Amino acid sequence: MPRSARKKTNSGVYHIMLRGINRQQIFEDEEDNQFFLKTVRYYKSECDYKILAYCLMGNHVHLLLKEGEVPLELVFRHIGARFVYWYNKKYYRVGHLFQDRYKSEAVDNIIYLNRTIQYIHQNPVKAGLVIKPEDYPYSSFKEYLIRPDLVDMEYVEQFVSRETVVLSGREQEINDYMNTDEIKTKGITDQQVKSIIVNMTVCNDVMSF
């Protein structure tokens, strides 16, 4: 059966999810996490993409990035090849580590951008790994809270403020950002959500970016 085409967006921003093959563990220790982030940093300059948020979660990865000149397919071929070569050598293993095709969601407006960053930073909390998102060492939440490092903060702040990201990232109850039906059942309309985001963000254009 042929694979369906990935949804493209004019914003160039995508929420990428990488999973271990058969849901196996990817990151066994701190060194594994750090080398993956080092690999992502290395290819930022090589492939000209921007990082908006990230979270490494044991057997899967969340990356929110803006595509540059190099297509995402090639970006993740590079990242996967470099990391898996290192990983297999370290653990005396052979073969694939990631599922053969990463999952991507197009992020094409500011409401979706804010909710995606929120969703990514809440992953460790919802998984019961930490109580507060700032306690998790392998996500970008601390970069929003303290000092940017891997995240391209100047780009992000054209659309959403760091303060907004920190406030929303600390919310304990979040709807799944892809489940719009759940939001509607709680009595919040799309227009109300739009108004809230406009008031909280530094940009008034909530339709596109």
* DSSP letters for the chain: -PPPPPPP-TT-EEEEEEEBGGG--S--SHHHHHHHHHHHHHHHHHH--EEEEEEE-SSEEEEEEE--SS-HHHHHHHHHHHHHHHHHHHHT--S--B-SS-EEEE--SHHHHHHHHHHHHHHHHHTTS-SSGGG-TTBSHHHHHT--SSS-HHHHTTTS-HHHHHHHHT-S----TT-HHHHHHTT--HHHHHHHHHHHSS----S--
Percent of the chain with pLDDT over 70: 78
**Could you tell me if residue 121 is inside a domain?**
yes
**Could you tell me if residue 102 is inside a domain?**
yes
CA distances from 121 to 97, 106, 163 (A): 24, 18, 14
Q: What is the mean pLDDT of the chain?
A: 82
Rounded to an integer, the average pLDDT of 146-154 is 94
pLDDT of residue 102: 82
Q: Which residue has the tokens 């921003």?
A: 13
Range of the domain at 135: 13-200
Of the listed ranges 17-21, 46-50, 116-120, 195-199, the least confidently predicted one is 195-199
Model-level pTM? Answer: 0.79
Residue 150: CATH number of its domain: 3.30.70.1290
Amino acid at 123: N
- What is the tens place of the pLDDT at every residue in 14-43? 999 999 887 888 999 999 999 999 999 999
Rounded to an integer, the average pLDDT of 70-94 is 92
**Could you tell me if residue 93 is inside a domain?**
yes
Which of the four pLDDT bands, split at 50, 70 and 90, describes residue 207?
very low
Assign residue 166 a region (left: φ > 0; alpha: ψ between -120 and 50; beta: otherwise). alpha
Number of domains the chain contains: 1
Q: What is the CA radius of gyration of the chain?
A: 17
pLDDT of residue 177: 43
Rounded to an integer, the average pLDDT of 79-94 is 92
pLDDT of residue 208: 55
**Could you tell me if residue 1 is inside a domain?**
no
